[in-house]
Structure formats: structure tokens, C-alpha cells
Structure 1
Amino acid sequence: MKKNISYKLLFLCLLIIGFSSCNIKQKESEKNEISKIENEKAFNSLILKHLNAVQNKDLNTLKSTMSPKGNMELIQPSSEIVYSVDGFMKFHQEWFKVPNWTISTKILSTDIGDKFGVATTEFLYKEPERNGKPYFNRLIVTYTLEKIDNNWYIIKDHASSIEKTIN
């Protein structure tokens, strides 16, 4: 009789351990899913902040989206590569001085990891008049972001012109 009770007690203990183990795994899975969602929200928030800063010609906000390490690659059509945040900011400071241009953007795709992510965007750049005619340039701009101290930052901007006005 004691053996039977011991087996029942052992079986009951194993059941409790098994159920609690499943519960822990479920909670861990839920926590990982929440963490993934928060990571994606933070990534998307940063890329939107960056795009809005470009649209609004806002150098201070733009700089806040850049890597605090100072590393940056800016790749533009028909230009040498710029390899620093300072160079990136200088480029944008000069560009933002050009009057009357507008830009509209949209995010085409993202691939977001734990430490690095990529966003591919479309830019439609317009000037009401360049050399006596309206000007436009449709570009695909791909951004690479790095997570540093739990925050996302832009570390690469690669633009390719797809279609534009011929001057």
C-alpha cells in the first residue's frame, strides 16, 4: 500500500513539475513575442523619425537618428562614399539649403533582427523649377540600422536613382 501511495505521490509531483515547466515555457514565449514587437516598434519609430527629419529639413532631429559611435556610410549616385556622421550631416546641411524642394517617402520593406535591421524606402524628390522646368527624382533608399545600448540608429544610407527628369 505504501508503494502505491509513493508512486501516486511521485506521479503527482511529476505532473505538477511538467505543468509548471509548460507554463514557464509559455510565459517565456509570450515575453519573447512582446520583446520582438517592442523591437519592431522601436525600429519603425526610428526610421519614421529619420524620414520625417529629412522631409522637414530638421538637422537636429536627423542627427539624433545617427550612430553615437560616429560611424555612417552615405552612398549616393555619382558620388564618393561618405564614411562618418559628420560627413553625412555636412552633406544634408548643404542639401537642406537648396530652396523649394519637397520629398515624399514611403517604407517599402523592413527586415528587423535583434542587433541589425534594414529598411528599404522610396523617395520622390521634386523641385518646382530646375533649369526652367519642373524636376523630379524617384529613388530607392536602403537604410541599415544598428541597435546600440538598446536604441536603434542609422549606420548606412544607400540611395539609387530609379527615374528622374533629364536636364
Structure 2
Amino acid sequence: MKKYINYKLILVSLLIIGFSSCNKEKETSKEQNEELFKSAILKHLNAVTAKDSNALKSTMSPNGNMELIQPSSEILYSVDGFMKFHQDWFKVPNWTVDTKILSTDIGNKIGVATTEFLYKEPERNGKPYFNRLIVSYTLEKINNNWYIIKDHASSIEKTKN
């Protein structure tokens, strides 16, 4: 009887360990984590540059949480608001944007990327227009994938209207 109880306890213990390990996210190395983060932010920046709404949407949190902070605008608090803003912006003709990642700070669950945007229009009010912005992004890791949850833009230098 004693051996039966020990085997039963061992079996129950193994089942508990097995089920609890199923709920954990797959662990990644620091290098893998940084690569996944950089890939996510580059996908996002490339989607903006290409005016690709579908690719942009794929970089957004599946939970729907998002903060978009733009100069002279109220904060938008959802992926839907973020997408509406960008879809309207993507309809503006003839603009281009060059992006550059300036710095990153990547944790296990939250990371931040600071970028530079150089937005250009060949003609606005009869002359060329540019706006150099610093845009910081906060990303959250969900199910081992990084997603944008905050976009905060500050205009540094731009053409006078």
C-alpha cells in the first residue's frame, strides 16, 4: 500500500508540474528577445513608410490597448482610434517619411524605442514642407511577440506655415 501511495503522489506531482509549465510563455534568450523587439519596431516603421494599413494593424496590441499622443491633439486611447488616424493620414497625397531608430531599452515584457521621423511634402501652401519629429514607442510582449501600445510624437523642427 505504501508503494502505491508514493507512485500516486509522484504521478499527481508530475501532472501538476506538466500543467503549470503549459501556461508559461516560452522563454527567449536576451539576444532573441532583442531581435524580436527590433523586428517588431522595424515592421511598424516600414508599415508607416509604405502607408500599409494591414501591416500597421498587425503591429498593434491584440488586446486593443493603445495610446497615440500627437502635437496639438488630444490623446487617442485605442487601436481603432490609432488606425483611423493613420488611415486618414495615409490618404494625404505625395508625402514621404524617413525613419531612424535612435535608441532602444528592451526589457522582458516592456520595451521602448526612440525614433526620428523626417516627414516631407513636396508642396504645401506653394513651397516644400518638412517636419522633423522624435517619436517614442512603447511595446509590450504578449505571447512572445512584441506589439506597439504607445506612440508619442514631438515635433522638433518644421517648416514655418
The structural deviation recorded for 1:61 is 0.2
**In the alignment, structure 1 residue 129 sits paired with structure 2 residue 123:** yes
SS for the counterpart of 1:118 is strand
Partner of 2:45: 51
The structural deviation recorded for 1:115 is 0.3
Please tell me the residue identity of whatever aligns with 1:114.
N
Aligned partners of 1:156, 1:50: CA distance in 2, in Å?
12
Aligned partners of 2:47, 2:146: CA distance in 1, in Å?
16
Taking structure 1 as the reference length, what is the TM-score of the superposition?
0.80
Taking structure 2 as the reference length, what is the TM-score of the superposition?
0.83
| Long gaps (5+) in structure 2 | 1-26
- Which of the two has higher C-alpha Rg? 1
Would you identify which runs of 4 or more consecutive aligned residues in structure 1 move more than 4 Å?
Answer: none
Aligned partners of 2:44, 2:146: CA distance in 1, in Å?
11
The structural deviation recorded for 1:81 is 0.2
Matched residues, number: 135
1:45-124 map, 5 Å: 45-124=39-118
SS for the counterpart of 2:66 is strand
Q: Deviations over 1:54-95 (max 9, x none)?
A: 000000000000000000000000000000000000000000
Aligned identity (percent) is 84
The structural deviation recorded for 1:160 is 0.1
Query: Could you say what the CA RMSD is over the residues aligned between the two structures, in angstroms?
Result: 0.9
| Long gaps (5+) in structure 1 | 1-31
Partner of 2:136: 142
Which has the larger helix fraction?
Answer: 1
